[in-house]
Structure 1
Amino acid sequence: MKKSLKYIGILFATIFIVSCSESYLDVNTDKNSPTGDVLGPELVLPIAQYWSGEIVQRNRYTNNLGNMMVYNWSQSDGFSWYNDEFLYNVTSSFYQIIWTRSYRDALKQYRVLQSYGDQYDNYKAIGKIMESYHFQILVDLYGDIPYSEALQRGGNPTPAYDDAEAVYQGIVSELDMAMALIDGADGSDLVPGSDDIMFGGDMATWKKFANTVKLRVLVRQGSGDFTGMASVGFIDQEVTVQPGYAVVENQQNPFWNAFGADSGGTITNNNNATCATQFVLDYLDGTSDSRISYIYEEPATGHLGVVQGLQDYDVPIVDQFDPQFVSNIGPGILKGATMPAVIFTLADAYFLQAEAILNGDLTGDAKAAYESGIQSSFSYLGDPGFSDYISQPRALVAWDSSPNKLEAIITQKWIATNGIDAVQSWFDYTRTGYPSGLPISLLATTPERPVRLFYPASELTANAANVPPQPNAFNDKIFWAN
């Protein structure tokens, strides 16, 4: 999507001002809140979308969390970055930034988009779609959340919590309304252009994305009305955010900025600290999966991973797990400072279709959707080896060789989201138990991995009267997993 340098500069300047002013977007105040009287939709929209990318791809946000929970990532020698993750130390401060940024920086802006006049139906539709996208992730992480009384910009600083299943129902309704708004828009409705840093104002693609988010909701909850969804269609491209990332301080892709290099080219400590687990390397190698060297960097000495929670890095060989010897995040994922931020993979969209067809909820060819999901993963990583891989008569690779089709779908999604949007694989693991055989961290004090997060400390302080009792992070599953 082509944008003028002037527009990009204005966008990042606005984001910087908003980000640096906590009062500007404070969850419990409407002081200086952006409304139609302050900012036009052409500025509110890209700010909101920018934060959608950050919430998935920043360090210690959803992608990072997922990679730890489904055993994709471990830690090199000389670092103590991930002890809380390896201990499964789920507290009210553990990854609470996901909650805070979602409500304060993304969802509030998407709600503002819905406050403009009738000529802004396309913007309203986008607001509803992206609200739904974020609210589903929050339900999947926390269960019951503020929904029907949320986002009132100070009108109700202590919103009630809605039942998680009811929120899912509300999401489906909002997505249906968003698609209806797109269908009903006419010549008087303004269409976003370069201010839409996801689809460039392509409302047909927005409708397909709404339908794809709806598909994720219905597949995850295991029920619902799929009528007419196949005729609407689903996304046929990676869903990304591109505000004009540049090799400039505070303007790099958030994932690259954390795990790649700074604007001066210096490799980050997170890059050196973060590496593959030996389990995932063994799995990829054992299935002759060439994606191994795109998902993970291969040292000159060959691929090497680390067991999560390893304490003695010098047995049996001193310094064997130093950063230069282990498989850090690979070139198919760390593509550069200006790469777009992925928030929904095309592979995931195909795997959702495959599962829905397998369950009889959609008509179509489950095998074709499954293979398209794998092919999309290879394409995203820049790996030309799809044909060789899929031709193997191997269970969980070839559709016809896989007796358990659901396990094949979820296992391939685990591979495809590795390093990109891995929190979705954590949700699927909690729901299905796949992929099979995922180890537990050596530091874990329980034989189970967490299934959810605790409500954040910020809510316990600001909304104590409404916050539900803290759940058991290992046993109290989200409704769709019970």
Structure 2
Amino acid sequence: MKRLSYILLVTFAAMVGCKKGFLDINTDPNNPTVASLPQLLVAAEQGLAYDLGFTNDNRGARGLTEVLSVYMHQVTVRESQDQYGATGTQFDINNAWSDFYSAQGVNSSADYIGFLENVEVMIRQADASNSHTYAGIGRVLKAYGFSQFVDAFADIPFSEANKFSTEVLRYPKFDKGQDIYPELFKLLDQAIGDLSATSGNQIAPTTDDLFYGGSRDSWIRLANTIKLKLYNQIRLTTNVSAQVTALVNGGKLISGWDNSFMMKYGKSPSPDDRNPGFSEYFATQKSHYQSPWFYEIMKGYNPRIFTGIVDPRIPYYFYTQNKVDAPSAGGGTDYRDSAFISIYFGSTGPNRDRSQDGSMTVFGIYPVGGRYDQGDHIVVNASSGTGAAPLRLLTYADVLYIEAELMNAGVLAGDARATLRAAILESFNQVDQVVNLANGGQSIPKLAGTSDVAYANKIMGVYDAGSTARKLEVIMTQKWIQSFGFSCDQYTDYRRTGYPILFDPGNPQQAPGGFVQPPINGDPSRPGVPQPKVRVVASRKYPLSLPWPANELNVNPNAPAQKQPDTYPVFWDK
């Protein structure tokens, strides 16, 4: 990756979220310290990825997926987000928020975080110099970033955010999500105008654009695709048929893997440019267990959805450290199915807190650039993978799932079945593309053109047998499976549609009497000894939005009182 050579400390006055202080600036006229457009763009793009992905604090990455992957039941942990317990003091929520609104260096490292302030300064400088491509990119990034934070937190500072350097406004008010969304559509339209401009462009990005290398066509496609995504998210509150039809018929959406919106990471450990989620491979203590609920749906064990259908992507998604017939290195297990070892969401079982570092199942090659599971069952470390899997923010597969959802709902004309099938096949191609980027020398079979068609046929059988609501469940569950590694849109989709069905310790069908049963004979190291049931609880209701960070509420007199997350929905949640 080339981005580290571009990342420099940006030393302009910056509002740090809503913290009381702001960064000092050297005003020596003989030594001006104005960040260049390339520096600002690199910092903003990296900051956005860090705010939304997994956490690696040593890199300055503190992202919302760290919490939301647990809320969306793809990861299980022993930390506060278990049982929906993340409060306003939770580390990742506080830091993702402050890093979103601020610009600051991290631990004197070569990495640089900070999103919104960098974007705002970049837009101002680009407008002043007629550098239309930078201005357009900045507005697309701003619209996308704010949309994600509205979708996560509901109401956030927007109209008065980051106005200290221009209006000496230190404590911004919180705007309602329904008031912010229309402004985001305006930003995107303005961005498309900037990116379509044929005059000006005195300075145009190239390799400093980590997402698209300066391709204006790709940024225009992204802007339109974000609009499609946002219209889909408000379809239950607003008639958006005309808007989505025009976008789809316009033919200027993300159209393939090559123009998908993703942060591509590298393989270098020093300076570290790997996917932040790959830090699990060399962590002092591993903490990201792979959700049994997610695994069992892919394995075909779930009695409600895709029963008996084994997903061929399993060895790409998960890596099993423990040998099939060997005892767990940590002793008793909370959940075990052959070599797959994990813990349940909400578990209070006697084996939940055992150290399973050398036996637990970890991320595979697909989500974070870990190891493909070829059955070698090694205890992973930093050399077991590359970490070069991209953070997939908005891909061609996502576009197809969005279109299938709109068609199924009757909002967009078209064949929902054919579009869903295309989305599933593209999801398999997506895995192959990630393998091409992240493979460190393993012999890894391709999925596309082999097992993808047979799997898609089985899923279409489930789809064909269902009602309109059941068809929506199939679409959203497949979208959830393919988006493993980025949970922000999953969280939005679940609250909008109610799908996929998630594990609920209080559901008597899922956990009769408050207990769940691991596979009876799931521990081959103890033949003939059935695995015991595990007690599970959920002490809190599902959060309809994330709590506002305590750091913000404590210093901003214009901030509201803390919300009750399970009763405070985003405006589109009907």
TM range (shorter): 0.7 to 0.9
Specify the code of the residue in structure 1 equivalent to 2:553. L
Instruction: Give 2:100's match in structure 1, choosing from 102, 122, 133.
Output: 102
What's the offset of the Cα at 1:186? 2.8
Worse-matched range after superposition: 470-479 or 226-235? 226-235
1:460 & 1:371 partners in 2: Cα distance? 46
- For 1:53, the equivalent position in structure 2 comes to 49
2:132 & 2:98 partners in 1: Cα distance? 28
Contact residue 296 and residue 329 of structure 1 kept, 8 A? yes
Contact residue 346 and residue 505 of structure 2 kept, 8 A? no
Verify: 1:228 aligned to 2:246, yes or no: yes
Contact residue 255 and residue 341 of structure 1 kept, 8 A? no
* CA spacing shift, 1:402–1:64, aligned 2, 3 Å: farther
Worse-matched range after superposition: 365-374 or 209-218? 365-374
Q: SS of the residue aligned with 2:188?
A: helix
* CA spacing shift, 1:24–1:168, aligned 2, 3 Å: closer
1:41 & 1:232 partners in 2: Cα distance? 30
- For 2:283, the equivalent position in structure 1 comes to 268
- For 2:335, the equivalent position in structure 1 comes to none
Identity between Structure 1 and Structure 2 (%): 22
- For 2:331, the equivalent position in structure 1 comes to none
Q: Deviations over 1:380-413 (max 9, x none)?
A: 32351311210116665xx434432221111111
- For 1:259, the equivalent position in structure 2 comes to 280
* CA spacing shift, 1:278–1:133, aligned 2, 3 Å: same
Contact residue 72 and residue 502 of structure 2 kept, 8 A? no
Scaled by the length of structure 2, what TM-score is found?
Answer: 0.72
1:197 & 1:73 partners in 2: Cα distance? 28
Q: Deviations over 1:24-75 (max 9, x none)?
A: 66345364399x9701211110111111121222315222222100111124
Instruction: Give 1:297's match in structure 2, choosing from 319, 332, 337.
Output: 319
Is the radius of gyration larger for structure 1 or structure 2? 2
Instruction: Give 1:430's match in structure 2, choosing from 491, 495, 499.
Output: 495
* CA spacing shift, 1:393–1:99, aligned 2, 3 Å: closer
Verify: 1:133 aligned to 2:144, yes or no: yes
1:435 & 1:395 partners in 2: Cα distance? 18
1:471 & 1:24 partners in 2: Cα distance? 28
Instruction: Give 1:280's match in structure 2, choosing from 294, 298, 309.
Output: 294
- For 1:10, the equivalent position in structure 2 comes to 5
- For 2:159, the equivalent position in structure 1 comes to 148
Higher relative contact order (CA 8 A, sep 6+): 1
What's the offset of the Cα at 1:467? 1.4
Scaled by the length of structure 1, what TM-score is found?
Answer: 0.85
Q: SS of the residue aligned with 2:572?
A: helix
Contact residue 53 and residue 342 of structure 1 kept, 8 A? no
2:280 & 2:183 partners in 1: Cα distance? 36
Specify the code of the residue in structure 2 equivalent to 1:411. T
- For 1:207, the equivalent position in structure 2 comes to 220
- For 2:110, the equivalent position in structure 1 comes to none
Verify: 1:355 aligned to 2:369, yes or no: no
Contact residue 553 and residue 560 of structure 2 kept, 8 A? no
Instruction: Give 1:328's match in structure 2, choosing from 362, 366, 371.
Output: 362
What's the offset of the Cα at 1:132? 0.8
Contact residue 100 and residue 115 of structure 2 kept, 8 A? yes
Q: SS of the residue aligned with 1:343?
A: strand
Q: SS of the residue aligned with 1:328?
A: strand
Contact residue 50 and residue 243 of structure 1 kept, 8 A? no
User: What is the Cα-based RMSD across aligned positions, in Å?
Assistant: 2.8
Verify: 1:44 aligned to 2:40, yes or no: yes
* CA spacing shift, 1:304–1:153, aligned 2, 3 Å: same
- For 1:340, the equivalent position in structure 2 comes to 390
1:462 & 1:97 partners in 2: Cα distance? 15
Specify the code of the residue in structure 1 equivalent to 2:6. L
Structure 2 runs not aligned, ≥5 long: 56-61, 103-113, 301-308, 325-338, 370-385, 433-445, 507-535
* CA spacing shift, 1:430–1:473, aligned 2, 3 Å: same
* CA spacing shift, 1:401–1:187, aligned 2, 3 Å: farther
Verify: 1:454 aligned to 2:547, yes or no: yes
Q: SS of the residue aligned with 2:561?
A: coil
